Amino acid sequence: MPNEITPELLVEFKDRMKLSDDEDANLTRILKGSIEDLIDMCGEYDVHTSERFKTLVFEHGRYTYNDALEFFDNNFQSKITQLAVSKALSVMPSTVEGDTSET
């Protein structure tokens, strides 16, 4: 299932944050919230297949964990915008060559 917090994803995040196993419930909650927030900002991505999205999720989680979330948007605005634009361009209908319909 896309964006499910798998044990592997949790271990990868804990390794990135250098955290122990006794915080699994809190970290799972943080990761779920981070995914939801970033989907709202960037569009639908799968944290398991998009490394750029996963990086943002982990950074958002790091800021949340360290009670510094108010700084995340400004510090990562260019990355958030890149993903949002990339998603918007991927879902735009392409123009059909030779279309002679009047506008």
Digit-coded pLDDT (tens) for 35-51: 999 999 999 999 999 99
Q: Is the pLDDT of residue 98 over 60?
A: no
Do the domain assignments include residue 92? no
Do the domain assignments include residue 19? yes
Do the domain assignments include residue 21? yes
pLDDT score recorded for residue 54: 96
Do the domain assignments include residue 2? no
Percent of the chain beyond pLDDT 90? 73
Domain span holding position 65: 7-84
Do the domain assignments include residue 43? yes
49 in Cβ contact with 72 (< 8 Å): no
Do the domain assignments include residue 12? yes
Secondary structure in 3-state letters for the chain: CCCCCCHHHHHHHHHHHCCCHHHHHHHHHHHHHHHHHHHHHHCCCCCCCCHHHHHHHHHHHHHHHCCCHHHHHHHCHHHHHHHHHHHHHHHCCCCCCCCCCCC
Instruction: Give me the number of domains the chain comprises.
Output: 1
